[in-house]
């Protein structure tokens, strides 16, 4: 039987007031129509920004758009249609500096460790801990970026014992290793040691290589899996109980293996919004994280210092 609703009832059921994610405006919307609500004028600016990404003609255009997104000047990134998280602001200066070397940062989280009264899980207290991690792209076909230096950068980061690192090409597809064969036995294998200098440069650069811990499944109870976990928390009714409370794993590093790489939704893939401007530069993708909890690492500075040490130049820095 159809239920006939009076207009006021209709409104409480199907219309709600939400706050725009970009500005302080509140507006009425139907439930669940937009997961990232934006008021009319912000929606307009968001689609303008998406057009700019679609029309980017060069790597410099992409760098510039990403910097403007990080500064909150445009309303979409290559993969996000919401503003940068508040926590991102903690590392924005470091992220922006990497762009001077031709690096486009895609995803990141800063190191965090805090205890607060829980706004979720029905109250109580929680302690929330994050390892810093970051994903970024470097072009390998750009006149201002030497391929050899990119290879050295990959080696340098993969050798750093304080980091967990994966390196791969965003524009290549990777076969899944044959069943019952270890990843190391195939030529698209994640490699645990840097490649030798005698191997052809191009091949060497575009292998999928990782120092993430290999586990057969990401069973969250598995101790080994903890190495790949980047966010965890504990929750109790009272603050004092937190000390002995067990950790609950929240998120693990993406891009741990070839399967994870082939999952849909890779953020700035060569088929994504940025199109040819990205694909033509055959970028190498990096996912870098601190290996230990509370290591106090400034990941952006570590990567910047590594760029300087291998001889990359801030050739994309512009006078502002
Ligand atoms: Zn708005």
Residues with Cβ within 8 Å of 85's Cβ and at least 6 positions away in sequence, in order, are none
Query: How does pLDDT run across 126-162, given as a tens digit for each residue?
Result: 999 999 999 999 998 899 999 889 989 999 999 999 9
Q: What pLDDT is stored for residue 184 in this prediction?
A: 38
Q: What Å distances lie between residue 136 and 159, 220, 243, CA to CA?
A: 18, 27, 36
The CA distance from 223 to 284, in Å, is 31
Question: Quick count: other Cβ atoms within 10 Å of Cβ 124?
Answer: 15
- Which helix (H) or strand (E) is 46 found in, with range? helix 40-54
Nearest to 135 by CA among 183, 66, 219, 218: 66
How far is ligand 1, taken at its centre, from the CA of residue 30, in Å? Answer: 16
Query: How does pLDDT run across 28-87, given as a tens digit for each residue?
Result: 876 555 567 888 899 899 999 989 998 999 999 999 999 999 999 998 887 777 888 889
The token pair that represents 225 in the structure block: 């899996």
In contact, 57 and 51? CB cutoff 8 Å: no
How far is ligand 1, taken at its centre, from the CA of residue 15, in Å? Answer: 18
In contact, 112 and 86? CB cutoff 8 Å: no
How far is ligand 1, taken at its centre, from the CA of residue 27, in Å? Answer: 9
> Is the C-alpha dihedral spanning 85, 261, 273, 106 positive or negative?
positive
How far is ligand 1, taken at its centre, from the CA of residue 40, in Å? Answer: 7
The CA distance from 269 to 229, in Å, is 24
């Amino acid at each position: 039987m159809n239920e006939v609703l009076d207009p006021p009832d209709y409104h409480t059921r199907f219309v709600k007031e939400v706050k725009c994610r970009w500005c302080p405006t509140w507006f009425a919307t139907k439930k669940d129509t937009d997961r990232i609500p934006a008021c009319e004028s912000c929606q307009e600016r968001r689609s303008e920004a998406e057009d700019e990404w679609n029309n980017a003609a060069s790597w410099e255009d992409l760098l510039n758009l990403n910097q403007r997104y990080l500064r909150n000047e445009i309303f979409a990134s290559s993969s996000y249609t919401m503003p940068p998280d508040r926590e991102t602001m903690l590392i924005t200066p470091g992220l922006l500096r990497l762009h001077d070397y031709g690096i486009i940062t895609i995803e990141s989280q800063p190191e965090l460790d805090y205890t607060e009264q829980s706004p979720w899980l029905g109250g109580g207290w929680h302690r929330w801990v994050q390892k810093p991690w970051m994903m970024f792209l470097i072009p390998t076909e750009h006149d201002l970026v030497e391929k050899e230096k990119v290879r050295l950068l990959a080696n340098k980061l993969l050798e750093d014992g304080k980091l967990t690192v994966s390196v791969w090409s965003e524009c290549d597809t990777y076969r899944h290793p044959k069943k019952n064969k270890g990843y190391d036995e195939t030529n698209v294998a994640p490699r645990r040691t840097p490649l030798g200098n005698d191997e052809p440069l191009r091949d060497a650069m575009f292998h999928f290589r990782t120092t993430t811990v290999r586990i057969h499944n990401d069973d969250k109870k598995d101790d080994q899996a903890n190495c790949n976990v980047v966010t965890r928390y504990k929750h109790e009714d009272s603050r004092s109980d937190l000390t002995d409370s067990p950790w609950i794993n929240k998120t693990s590093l993406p891009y741990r293996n070839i399967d994870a790489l082939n999952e849909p939704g890779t953020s700035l893939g060569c088929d994504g919004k940025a199109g040819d401007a990205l694909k033509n530069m055959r970028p190498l993708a990096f996912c870098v994280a601190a290996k230990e909890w509370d290591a106090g690492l400034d990941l952006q500075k570590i990567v910047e210092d590594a760029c300087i040490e291998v001889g990359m130049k801030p050739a994309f820095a512009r006078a502002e």
